[in-house]
Amino acid sequence: MKIKNAEKYFYSSLEKQPLEMFSAGKLYNSYKFFGAHRINCDGYEAVRFLVWAPHAASVCLVGEFNDWDQTGYPLKKISHNGVWEISVFNVKVYDSYKYRIVTPYGEVFYKADPYGFHMEERPKSASKYFDIENYSWKDRKWRESLKKRDSYVRPISIYEVNLLSWKKKKDGKQYSYKDLAEELVPYVKEMGFTHIEIMPIMEHPYDGSWGYQVTGYFAPTSRFGTPTDFMYFIDCCHQNDIGVILDWVPVHYCKDAHGLCHFDGEDCFESSDRGRAENEQWGTVNFDYGKTEVRNFLISNAIYWHEKYHIDGMRIDAVAYMLYLNFSGKDIRNQYGGYEHIEAVEFIKELNSAVFLRYPKTLMMAEESTAWPLVTSPTDVGGLGFNYKWNMGWMNDILEYMEQDSLFRKGNQNALTFSITYAFSENYVLPLSHDEVVHGKKSLLSKMPGTYKEKFANLRLLYAYMYAHPGKKLLFMGGEFGQFIEWNEWQGLDWHLLDYESHGKMREFVKNLNKFYRREPCLYELDTTYDGFEWIEHENHQESIIAFERKGSEGDKLIVVFNFTPIERKRYPIGVDKLGSYKVVLNSNLIKYGGDSRSMSVYKAKILEMHNKPYAIRLTIPPLSGVFLKYKGNE
């Protein structure tokens, strides 16, 4: 191709193979072709723009580099399935642009680039040209260490964060990615969490959607800075041994005019079946997983965040809405008369297979609330292929139980113990997430019954039980210090509460609980098997007491005893396997945490058959408390 100096744009040649793979849904690195990319052609540097608009009558590029010329930069259709291309000179980093799409009916739409790497800050909505290849990563040590890790036998304690409302500056302004790297990262490290989970970071127009209604799937939101600023944030996390999990929304997208909805005037990313396309519950549009190009777009997106931003995992939102055609209440059935969304199931399997092939140590976590089988089993045995699932049943049961007045808990013991009957059917994460502290549900602390002091005791008890229960852990921001009011996405957390002793001691308890969890292998090594758990006491409904053992792979054990009433139980017998001393190694009722216990007691076992064991200890169980004991031999 011979390019003349006077030309402002030209049409470059693109190999057939990527276009064919995209059409077949197998171009899993489609982000390397679609969108805006710097190229060198005939000795000249230009930026090539590639967009999928199968129904468009014409497509033009408009932007700062051409003074928003409406028709002067027409794209050329280069494939049978509607891929359009143009290469343009004199495009600079941060230049804004959109695609001007004319529909077969003469309508004109101005659309942001579905593959755009950067976007204007709200309320503006154009894409911005940005080169994401120039960041110099410093996380090699972290990434090398991941190759040796098996997440199933390691502690995972996740701090869930909404970046907009974690903390505000004194003047009310939001933190940037770099500000968060300087404050949030050391805070999470100090608190002992292993991972940060960020609520959807992909570009979205409305703060109140929390990021769950996306317009820019390949663009980290510009609210907090540039793509390289976000890379810096993740880099800082890794340099401090903190993994990063992104919340991801491959279910639906918003109807904003510049987004994916009716992208080329027709049903492009959505289904032509209005019942399947419309998501009335959220006022959004569902993806059509039956289209190869849509599956390609989403799978490429998941791989993109791993490759370009070094993320360590994804929490996939609203999987139940993907699996069932009738989950939103509609009577929609598949071709066989069932409610299973067959195309979505195949998409999920393809997604997980593709991601794990490239990133075998990543975390793919399903927020899935039904009894769909084998969610965390490999696809080759009929599973969906995730490696973790949020345990929504545990979350609902334990919060219902804890919200009850302690006098009535004895009638609901099953809500406390039932989760163990299925705890090892999947690889679970135990979530106390953002969804449980909004929309009138109250904060975790406010849910707790009793006096002011008992509320804190109950919350410490809840956390102690959560960390003792099989499964990885997740806690939403603010829960660590006892946020009193519901989470409000428009303002920062109530950090001033730490000026009050009870809240400061609550945070100290969560910090110590995280560190205790991380140094006790029996709390995480056998999370996915009954080999790591054994009931001691689960039938004492009247006194609302349960006790069990957690076991490690090397034979180490912890005995954990919980008292869910405000009544101290003295000389309570607990069956044990060996004679010798048993020392309390964690007590949620210690004075330093806001309770009344002054010391970590030691109990000697006696010959006394109890709980199907030959020996027993008699211990004092403080009110509304969890006590962890370890065998110390003949000390």
The 10s digit of each residue's pLDDT in 571-595 is 999 999 999 999 999 999 999 999 9
SS3 content of the chain, % helix, strand, coil (to 5): 30, 25, 45
Report, as residue numbers or ranges, the catalytic residues: 317, 367
- Say if residue 1's pLDDT is above 70: no
Instruction: Give me the residue label for tokens 């089988």.
Output: 373
For residue range 265-284, list pLDDT tens digits in order. Answer: 999 999 999 889 888 888 99
pLDDT score, position 633: 86
Question: Over the stretch 594-615, which tens digit does the pLDDT of each residue have?
Answer: 999 988 899 999 999 999 999 9
Q: Read off the pLDDT band of 63 (50, 70, 90).
A: very high
Residue 499 is predicted with a pLDDT of 97
pLDDT score recorded for residue 4: 53
Mean pLDDT, to the nearest integer, of 443-472? Answer: 98
In 3D space, the residue among 248, 257, 224, 228 whose CA is nearest the CA of residue 316 turns out to be: 248
Question: Where along the chain do the CATH 3.20.20.80 domains lie?
Answer: 161-390
Task: Tell me if residue 50 falls in helix, strand or coil.
Answer: strand
Answer whether residue 356 shows pLDDT above 80.
yes
pLDDT band for 415, please (50, 70, 90 cuts).
very high
Q: Which amino acid is at 230?
A: F
Instruction: Choose the CATH number for 530-633 among 3.10.450.50, 2.60.40.10, 3.40.640.10, 2.60.40.1180.
Output: 2.60.40.1180
What value does the mean pLDDT take over residues 99-105?
96
Mean pLDDT score, 1-24:
81
Alpha helices in 40-86 (DSSP H): none
The phi-psi region of residue 241 (left if phi > 0; otherwise alpha if psi is between -120 and 50; otherwise beta) is left
pLDDT band at 407 (very low <50, low <70, confident <90, very high): confident
Q: Is the pLDDT of residue 466 over 70?
A: yes
The CATH 2.60.40.1180 domain(s) of the chain lie at 530-633
Chain CA centroid to CA 568, Å: 39
* pLDDT value, residue 7: 80
pLDDT at 2: 54
Q: Could you tell me the fold of the domain covering 9-128?
A: Immunoglobulin-like (2.60.40)
- Stretch among 38-42, 67-71, 231-235, 251-255 having the lowest mean pLDDT: 38-42
Beta-carbon count within 10 A of 246 CB? 24
Task: Kindly report the pTM of this predicted structure.
Answer: 0.96
Number of other CB atoms surrounding residue 313 within 10 Å: 25
d(CA 292, CA 469): 41
Average pLDDT value for the chain: 95
Question: Is the peptide bond preceding residue 378 cis, with omega within 30 degrees of 0?
Answer: no
161-390 carries CATH number 3.40.50.2300:
no
